[in-house]
Structure 1
Amino acid sequence: MLIIFKGETQGLKVAPRWPSSKVLIEKNVFLKLLEVQSKLPSSVKLLLVRGYENKSSRLGVFRHISRWLGIKLFCTCYPSRKSEVGDIFGSNGHDVDGSHVDVSIVLNGKRLRLLPLGVFTSLSLQQSRAEEHLAVIEYVKGTLEQCGFIIHHNQTESMQIHCDFNG
């Protein structure tokens, strides 16, 4: 398992999601992300934001509590989307190993904020944000899939580009 800190590592941008200060990732997954990056135009950069998260750590306990609170708030805001709670607030493999990652897109030096309110971004706002950069988003996701990643099926998880390496 590699420990990667904020910044740029071998051409891959890294910005751990708060409150983390680092991203833990399997070496083969890191190499595949570098392969993906090499296939993207120079104006498009991957941004690695999340990898393995130990659920037994202090940070893991914090995440557990914040997920519980998030579920309550999400169900209050979006009662018709309760069926998505498992997909959105589950660990989605991040607590299993470093082959489950979240990446974002940096276009011409600016990060695309596809979920400006995080997982609380409405589906309609997600769609309007995606429409603006649909070609780039689909190109990045397609390149990830060509290199052995599976993009999460849930729309919100897909917008934060949660993907699992299947190699």
Structure 2
Amino acid sequence: MLTLQRGSHHGLLIAPRWPSTRIQLEEEVLQCLLDAQALLPTGLRLLLTRGFEPSRSRLGGFRRVVRRIGIAVFRTCYPQRRDEIDAIFSANGHDIDGRHVDVSLVLHGKRLRLLPLGVFTPPRWQHRRVARYAELVARAKRSLQDCGFELHHNPTEALQIHCDYPPR
């Protein structure tokens, strides 16, 4: 397992999601992310934001507490979306190994905020933002898939660009 700090690693941008200070992932997954980056046009960059987070750590405990609070708020804000709670608020493999990552996009040095309010971004806002950057988002997702990643089935998680790299 590799540990990456904030910055750039062979052209791949690294920005751990708060409160993390580093990102852990499998070496094979890093290589596939670098391969996916190479398929993108010059101005569009991948930004790795999350990888492996052991559940039996302070960070894992913090994430569990935040998830419980998030679920309560989400249920209140979106009672009609209860069937999405598990997909959005589960650890989605981040607590298993370094083959599950979240990626964002940076266009000409500016991060594309597809979910400005995180998972609480209303679907209408999500659709508007995706429409604005549809071609770029589709291209990035295609490059990740071409390099072996599977994208999350939930639309909100897919906008966080949650990717799983299945064992080969």
TM value normalised by structure 2: 0.98
The aligned counterpart of 2:27 is: 27
Distance 2:124 2:140 in 1: 22
Mapped to 1, the partners of 2:141 and 2:35 lie a distance apart of 13
For 1:30-109, what aligned pairs fall within 5 Å after superposition? Answer: 30-109=30-109
Unaligned runs of 5+ in 2: none
- 1:55-104 Cα shifts (integer Å, max 9, x gaps): 10011111111100000000000000011000000011000000000000
**Structure 2 match to 1:143:** 143
Task: Tell me the amino acid that sits aligned with residue 81 of structure 1.
Answer: R
Q: Output one character per residue of 1:100-136: Cα deviation in whole Å (capped at 9) or x when no partner.
A: 0000000111100000000000111000011000000
Unaligned residue ranges in structure 1 (runs of 5+): none
Alpha-carbon distance in 2 for matches of 1:33, 1:91: 21
Deviations 1:30-73 (A, max 9, x none): 00000001111101000000000101001111111110000000
* Aligned equivalent of 1:164: 164
Amino acid at match of 2:55: K
How many residue pairs are counted as aligned between the two chains?
167
C-alpha separation between the residues in 2 aligned to 1:162 and 1:78?
21
Following TM superposition, the consecutive aligned residue runs of length 4 or more in structure 1 with deviations greater than 2 angstroms are none
Q: What secondary structure is seen at the aligned counterpart in 1 of 2:49?
A: strand
Hey, what's the Cα distance between the residues in 1 that align with 2:92 and 2:63? 13
Give the whole-Å Cα distance in 1 for the aligned partners of 2:61 and 2:34.
Answer: 31
User: What's the TM-score once normalised by structure 1's chain length?
Assistant: 0.99
- Counterpart CA distance in 2 for 1:140 and 1:97 is 23
Local SS of the residue matching 2:37: helix
In 1, the alpha carbon distance for the partners of 2:81 and 2:34 equals: 35
Percent of residue pairs bearing the same amino acid type: 51
What is the CA RMSD across the aligned residues, in angstroms? 0.6
Q: Give 3-state SS (helix, strand or coil) of 1:101's partner.
A: strand
